[in-house]
Amino acid sequence: MTKIKTGIGRRSFIKSVSVAGGGLIIGFNWMACKGPAEEGSEELAMQMPDEWFELNGYLKIGDNGIVTIYSPNPEIGQNVKTSMPMIVAEELDVDWNNVVVEQAPLNTEVFTRQLAGGSQSIRQGWESLRTAGATARQMLLIAAAKQWEVPVSELSVENGVITHKGSDKTIGYGEIAKAAAQVEVPEEVELKDNDNFKIIGTSRKNVDAKKIVTGQPLYGLDTYKDGMLIAMIVQPPAFGMEFKTMDDEKVKEMPGIKDVFTIDTYPEDMEKEWSDVAAFSKLVVVVGETTWQVMQAKKALNVEWDLNPELTKEIEILEKSAGMDDASGLESTDIHATLMADVGSKQSEVVRKDGDPEKAFKNAARVIERSYTCPFLAHNCMEPMNFFADVSGGKAELLGPIQTPEYAEKSINKRLGLELEDIDVQMTRMGGGFGRRLYGHFLVEAAVISEKMGKPIKLVYSREDDMTNGVYRPAYHVTYRAALDANNKLTAFHVNAGGIPESPLFANRFPAGAIDNYLAESWTLNSNISVGAFRAPRSNFIAGAEQSFLDELAEEMGQDPIQFRLDMLDRAKKDPVGEENDYDAARYAGVLKLARDKSGWDKGNSSLSRGVSAYYCHNSYVAQILDMSIEGNEPLIDKVTCAVDCGIVVNPDAAKNMVEGGTIDGIGHALYSEMTFKDGKPQQSNFDTYKLIRHKQAPKKIDVHFVDNGIDPTGLGEPPFPPVQGALANALYKATGKRFYRQPFINELQTIDTELKT
């Protein structure tokens, strides 16, 4: 066992607390998964406890042995509400069938990083979750030892039952929980060796599964409170515009409408949190009794908008630098393309330089240069943005889907001037996040509206509101160059990457460290369009572009694409260039080899076209091999073989689901999705014009293989998303004979089909 300092004082470990009746259990009892219990069975006798005893902020034990474990982080479908309690239960050594899971409240004194983002929930919670379970287990053992007057060292525990090996006495957790709640928190506890895990590494069903499939209220949109009104926003139709005036008299007289007014979500003097990203701060609000009534009022409302002079000036400068004489400050997709191709790369800055790349390119026998682009993307969570707010009497109750509850609480503190202890942010399950719900402006909007109305409200975005509101994945552009000598050997590598308004460059990732002469340059261009994290930020583009270029480079050099990568990784492992390489070359090579072996790379299938890709991000490594064919101009993906190194896998079925979902998501966005703009106005506002992948377009089969290396868990929600785009592009080349440089690929594929027909 590994000994670890608890590092948690009495203030954080809430003890000596019993709750009569157990309170409201909003989790899911695993016994319900087992089907109907037989009359007189032990399962039938297991009921909710009469008393609960809290041993620490992560769990409480009932007087009958039932254990409630709190899941601290927001749940967006990544299954942390199941996996995080599994880690606690493992070290507690309790029967998982006797575990009830609850969503923990926001509590920054007990829980650290109550945030869903960056694929870090399990990685950063691994030690604290294990420590919480191990500490509670030790307190129970100490209490039993005191009761029996024996040394703790003579006790053992299994499935929530403590045994004294000298006398064969046994006692259940429920029987000793009250005494354990009085025990001083030990300064040091022992964690299990990995070989002794009984819950971690086994597949457990989603604790919310029954509620999801039976339609029970779980999500923010399900929220209903007595006296609650519905609020919706009206926002500028174009980025770079702002509210001017409106005629609302007739709208206020419509059935069910309570009020129409304007708000300023973020006044100029407000200090923002990093999560307070919003393109539109000044909004028109319509409040009414029902969603339908408010939607009809929105349609009838006459609002005038005007150019925002501050935003206009900044964008005009950029447009004129690209030769746009009629610059208006309202951005268009064609202007974006010109800016990125002609302006961005000319103002780039060197981020990393190894060797003498300029000399290598000057002396090269041949230089290969390719450029890749991708558009803005909308997150398009299936559950649009929404939040409940009740601000009254100097307090704020907030309930809804948010990935950053801690930062949202701080935003409300700064916006409304309420004390943190008077702000209650409660988390619901989210119908998708993908980074969109990191930015809580909709929560702040709900609070401001409720305060103004003096009533509880639920703010609801329509799909059109959501899709045209911004916080998109940025548009990116990258150019790669490779220098080859007379012997067709790679002598230098150059990447110049940027975007609107951020760069996708990771200068210290592969192939940095594997090439003597390496140059990485970065640039950005300003925009009025608000952007934010999108699943696997920046990696979601650069991985596919990089892996496409490496494939083309391998072909130019006459090498097998996998072996080409492995040779470079072998160099990075044995004799790395530079000291800041942020990847483990051996683990990187490991997933490539595993994917090669599991896919039968050397055998292949003559009827299918095959592409490979591998990438490192969010502390994990993923390699994917995609097999496909083309029918007309529609790609038919037969199989994707995925090899993943994410350390210890807590819940294998859930992990597999995440890899499958990320793979499908990556394919869909690379093939079909884009947000375009004309004079600042989004050209897509719903799913009739913004295409997402359909069921029939998903791979027929996804084979997932995890590397078993015993390393502490790393990221998983995001790493499968980026590399599959490169595997797709490389397979498309094999199928069509044409390289794909611009996303979404379906546009180029349709062009190729048209050319073939003519």
In tens, the pLDDT along 346-400 reads: 889 999 999 999 999 999 999 999 999 999 999 999 999 999 999 999 999 999 9
Provide the 10 A C-beta neighbour count for residue 611: 25
Binned at pLDDT 50, 70 and 90, residue 275 comes out as very high
What's the pLDDT at 326? Answer: 60
Q: Judge residue 246's burial from the number of C-beta atoms within 10 Å of its C-beta, 0-12 exposed, 13-18 middle, 19 or more buried.
A: middle
Average pLDDT, the chain: 92
What's the pLDDT at 311? Answer: 72
Please provide residue 271's backbone torsions phi and psi, each rounded to the nearest 5 degrees: -80, 115
Q: In the chain, what are the domain boundaries?
A: 2-213, 220-306+385-460, 475-757
CA 150 from centre of chain: 49
Indicate the DSSP class of residue 179.
H
The residues facing 473 across adjacent strands are 377
Q: Which helix (H) or strand (E) holds 674?
A: none
Indicate the DSSP class of residue 729.
H
Binned at pLDDT 50, 70 and 90, residue 318 comes out as low
The residues facing 372 across adjacent strands are 478
**Three-state DSSP class for residue 292:** helix
| Residue pointed to by tokens 């490539």 | 592
What's the pLDDT at 603? Answer: 85
At 683-739, the pLDDT tens digits run 999 999 999 999 999 999 999 999 999 999 999 999 999 999 999 999 999 999 999
Fold matches, 2-213 and 220-306+385-460: yes
Binned at pLDDT 50, 70 and 90, residue 109 comes out as confident
Output the CATH code of domain 475-757: 3.30.365.10
CA distance 364 to 154: 73
Q: pTM of this prediction?
A: 0.92
What's the pLDDT at 314? Answer: 67
Q: Measured in Å, how far apart are the chain's first and last C-alpha atoms?
A: 70
Task: Tell me the average pLDDT across 672-680.
Answer: 96
pLDDT: is 24 or 622 the higher one?
622
What's the pLDDT at 752? Answer: 80
Q: Is the pLDDT of residue 263 over 50?
A: yes
Domain 2-213 CATH (choose: 2.30.40.10, 2.40.50.140, 1.10.10.10, 3.30.365.10) = 3.30.365.10
Q: Is the pLDDT of residue 241 over 50?
A: yes
At 122-181, the pLDDT tens digits run 999 999 999 999 999 999 999 999 999 999 999 999 999 999 998 989 999 999 999 999
Picking from 63, 140, 57, the residue whose alpha carbon sits closest to that of residue 102 is 57
Output the CATH code of domain 220-306+385-460: 3.30.365.10
- 83 with 101: CB under 8 angstroms? no
CA distance 354 to 51: 65
Minimum mean pLDDT range among 35-44, 164-173, 188-197, 625-634? 35-44
